[in-house]
Amino acid sequence: MNKLIEVQDLGLKDYKETWEYQEQLFKAIVDLKIRNRREELSLETPNYLLLVEHPHVYTMGKSGDLEHLLLNEAQLKEKNAKYYKINRGGDITYHGPGQLVGYPILDLDNFFTDIHKYLRFLEEVIILTLKEYGLKPDRSPGETGVWLDVGTPFARKICAMGVRASRWVTMHGFALNVNADLGYFDNIIPCGIRGKAVTSLNVELGVREVNREEVEQKLLQHFTSVFEAQLKMA
């Protein structure tokens, strides 16, 4: 089992371009697995973790409801935002500057073949990262992602998640609000959940801006330990 994960920091990159790049890596791994099975080979499958920040964009998952997007085409253009219907699970979410977005493209045959466990592991990486900043993050029963003040009227989401998997190969992932402009969330019903607020790390810490690179390094350390993986920077 190959537990080496190649980390690629893509910087600020268009959502559609990144999605297409994910699909390329995803397809290459799936094709290799099919070839291994057909030809009775045992060629090693690679793993990737893409880290990226997107210009303003709204994405709708397979189970999403278009009514959860509260903007029409003209209003999207006015806000300099794009919209895409995509092939991950979940409903609608927002990506934009100030977020740390991660797309693990892993062959889970290299780790464990359990999607539920995979999602819990992703949440654990985020939870451990946020605890380093003195926060008390938690899971919300029945709602994927990472939250603060779960079970209270002040519950708020700080990290959204949505994944796709085929032949145990994953794509899409998580979006952690580090220095996010929370006003953009007012234009959607985030993840289709009404009455729940959204927050960002800088807001919770009461600072203008959190060092994104520092958050990224902490996150990578916890990704290594939680997945018992070895990371290689591209």
Residue 206 annotated as lining a ligand binding site: no
Q: Exposed/middle/buried for 107, CB within 10 Å: 0-12, 13-18, 19+?
A: buried
Q: Does residue 159 have an active-site annotation? A: no
Residue 223 annotated as lining a ligand binding site: no
Residue 94 annotated as lining a ligand binding site: yes
Question: CA-based angle 173:175:179, to the nearest 5?
Answer: 160
State CA 86 to chain mean position distance.
Answer: 14
Catalytic, out of 191, 198, 201, 229:
191
Q: Exposed/middle/buried for 55, CB within 10 Å: 0-12, 13-18, 19+?
A: middle
Radius of gyration of the chain (CA): 17
Residue 171 annotated as lining a ligand binding site: no
Residue 92 annotated as lining a ligand binding site: yes
Residue 74 annotated as lining a ligand binding site: no
Residue 173 annotated as lining a ligand binding site: yes
Q: Within 10 A of 198 (CB to CB), how many other CB atoms are there?
A: 23
| Catalytic positions | 191
Binding-site entries for substrate: 88-95, 160-162, 173-175
Annotated binding site, which residues?
88-95, 160-162, 173-175
